[in-house]
Structure 1
Amino acid sequence: MTKWAKYSGMIAAGVLSAGVLTGGLATAQPTGGASTSGATCSIKVGSVTAGGDHRLQTFAIDGSKVVDKIVAKDIYPDGQVRLSATMRFGDTDTGDEAHTGPVIMGPALYDTSYLTPAGGGAVSQKQVTRVGGGWDVYRSLDRSTVVTATTQRDTEYSLHNDGTLYRRNVSYQNGVPSRQVTGWQSGYSGVKAMTLISQTSTYDTFLMTLTSGKLYTAHLPLAGGQVIPGVVKEVRSSTWQGFESLVAAPCGTGTLLLGIDKDSGSGYLYHVGHANGTATTIQSLGKAAGTFTDPAYFLWKNFAGQDLAGE
């Protein structure tokens, strides 16, 4: 994989156990009622199109679409990408813009890296590198990257079809990534969609919708041995089962959340306050402009961008 010198590393209510995350059925659309307190946040929603292009749609907090463009064409073969983790991007010493992140195509995991001119355009130095097979049994993928003045933590999470959530540490030697399973936790069989909402040096937190319609957070400490001592909290008890994909961006101490209903091709924006179980405030911001029919959605995050701080 490619290294760019500027980054000196790889650019490529109540506490419940996780066992409660099982199926069920509920109806209706989510509602809420908290104020965004004058926030001027936005969310950079990425997707892989059916034609294998990388797309960017930026939405303001009022649901209006600020940007809609193809960042790079033909990054992947047509119709192959099933899941994508967060894609990171930013300026390099060459004056170009670097883009990097993992995807799942068919049964295999791939690492992606490439350059474009600032803002997108002709692709150079593209590398889509096969990591290994056996990934057709996973239904969710994301990566949490936390950078300090001296360290960089890259932690990947993947949800197995049997309801086990796996955590892997990603490390680099001479720019080449390697992965090691560092923990797992069972009991997530009812999860329909999940997105990272908080990341620190000691834990990551996901927001999860269930097939039963419930909305939960899963607080996952990085310490604690092979079995992740995750703490799962109910946020809402019903009406969230309609979303097949979630994308979240930081918004102060809360989260700007996009829920995507692939059946209708619609997206809905919410401001989620700092997560605190059923006391968490959620404000519905309305329907996002446009349609959402691409196969895979993810967050575009700038190398120098704010970390998620939703819990």
Structure 2
Amino acid sequence: MQTFAATSPVTRTTDKIVGRDIYPDGQVRLSARIRYGAAEVGGDAHEGPVIMGSTMYDTSYLTPAGGGAVSQKQVVRVGAGWDVYRTLDRSTFVTAGSQRDTEYALHLDGTIYRRSVTYIDGKPSRRITGWQSGYKGVKAMTLISQTSTYDTFLMTLTSGKLYTARLPLAGGHIIPGVVKQVRSSTWQGFESLVAAPCGTGTLLLGIDKDTGSGYLYSVGHANGTATAIRGLGKVPGSFTDPVYFRRTNLTDPNMAGE
């Protein structure tokens, strides 16, 4: 786990291993965000989906509070056929007394599929609730905003453009998403994006896997080309791991960058 302060120059406030040997070395291809919180038996409980090869797995495990030896690990096979997706993320929107879990996966053909995740006897079940085509040029995407009615993603394109895509939860199977250009160039270098709420906006980490470098940005309220973006600089250290994702505490606020 790495944590950064929104300062310039960028400072790293946390750099530690939370748990070891969750998955076979080098097998995880995609990961949605991993959620964690206090477990009833003590310590921290962690859970989230990953894709290894063509198969999705739901994962859960325990560690001492703050990390340490892994126990009660479960890696449960969901199903095959996931090799056709190149991104995976999950929006967990929490209100008083309720929780919405929605997964998004970008197909190789440029179609975003939205799935509702519900829990039956504590086990997640997925159902496709919509899709939208037209995202073939997307290189990386990350969730930056959640409400009870839509989720919004920030996307880099191979052309260098930076876009937002607001995907509503209601409607038919064809998602009437609203896509807006934020910047017209220079963003093609990032193969991975990780975002977290920060104040009234979003703290965005862009990872250039070709150089093993990370760059931090403060992104204001999403409003097309009027969106304020402030570069905080290069992040200390190297970024050479194959997969990066956001790790969220159960008490973290909902994303509200739009």
**Residue 38 (structure 2) aligned to one of 91, 94, 100:** 91
Q: Is the 8 A contact 1:252 1:309 kept in 2?
A: no
Give the counterpart letter for 2:198 in structure 1. C
Matched, 1:193 2:102: no
Q: Is the 8 A contact 2:94 2:254 kept in 1?
A: no
Give the counterpart letter for 2:214 in structure 1. G
**Partner in structure 1 of residue 19 of structure 2:** 72
**Partner in structure 1 of residue 121 of structure 2:** 174
Matched, 1:272 2:219: yes
Instruction: Report Cα offsets for 1:15-42 as digits up to 9, x if no partner.
Output: xxxxxxxxxxxxxxxxxxxxxxxxxxxx
> Structure 1 CA distance, aligned partners of 2:61 and 2:107?
29
Matched, 1:234 2:234: no
Matched, 1:296 2:251: no
> Structure 2 CA distance, aligned partners of 1:305 and 1:208?
23
**Partner in structure 1 of residue 2 of structure 2:** 57
Give the counterpart letter for 1:249 in structure 2. A
Per the alignment, in what secondary structure is the counterpart of residue 298 of structure 1? coil
Give the counterpart letter for 1:150 in structure 2. G
Give the counterpart letter for 1:93 in structure 2. E
> Structure 1 CA distance, aligned partners of 2:76 and 2:171?
32
| Residues matched between the structures, number | 256
Higher relative contact order (CA 8 A, sep 6+): 1
Matched, 1:205 2:149: no
Q: Is the 8 A contact 2:142 2:193 kept in 1?
A: yes
**Residue 131 (structure 2) aligned to one of 175, 184, 188:** 184
> Structure 1 CA distance, aligned partners of 2:25 and 2:42?
29
**Partner in structure 2 of residue 309 of structure 1:** 256
**Residue 161 (structure 2) aligned to one of 214, 236, 245:** 214
**Partner in structure 2 of residue 287 of structure 1:** 234
**Partner in structure 2 of residue 165 of structure 1:** 112
> Structure 2 CA distance, aligned partners of 1:147 and 1:268?
29
> Structure 2 CA distance, aligned partners of 1:234 and 1:191?
13
> Structure 2 CA distance, aligned partners of 1:306 and 1:281?
22
Give the counterpart letter for 2:192 in structure 1. S
Per the alignment, in what secondary structure is the counterpart of residue 136 of structure 1? helix
**Partner in structure 2 of residue 146 of structure 1:** 93
Deviation at 1:93, TM superposition (A): 2.3
- Please, which moves more after superposition, 126-135 or 57-66? 57-66
> Structure 2 CA distance, aligned partners of 1:175 and 1:246?
30
> Structure 2 CA distance, aligned partners of 1:144 and 1:221?
12
**Partner in structure 2 of residue 103 of structure 1:** 50
Q: Detail structure 1 runs of 4+ shifted over 3 Å in the superposition.
A: none
**Partner in structure 2 of residue 247 of structure 1:** 194
Instruction: Report Cα offsets for 1:50-84 as digits up to 9, x if no partner.
Output: xxxxxx01111122111111100000001000111
Q: Is the 8 A contact 1:198 1:205 kept in 2?
A: yes
- Structure 2 unaligned runs (5+)? none
> Structure 2 CA distance, aligned partners of 1:185 and 1:90?
33
> Structure 1 CA distance, aligned partners of 2:5 and 2:51?
29
**Partner in structure 1 of residue 70 of structure 2:** 123
Deviation at 1:183, TM superposition (A): 0.2
- Please, which moves more after superposition, 253-262 or 61-70? 61-70
| TM-score, structure 1 as length reference | 0.82
- Superposed CA RMSD in Å reads 0.7
Q: Percent identity?
A: 76
Per the alignment, in what secondary structure is the counterpart of residue 100 of structure 2? strand
> Structure 2 CA distance, aligned partners of 1:219 and 1:147?
19
Per the alignment, in what secondary structure is the counterpart of residue 173 of structure 2? coil
> Structure 1 CA distance, aligned partners of 2:25 and 2:70?
17
Deviation at 1:200, TM superposition (A): 1.2
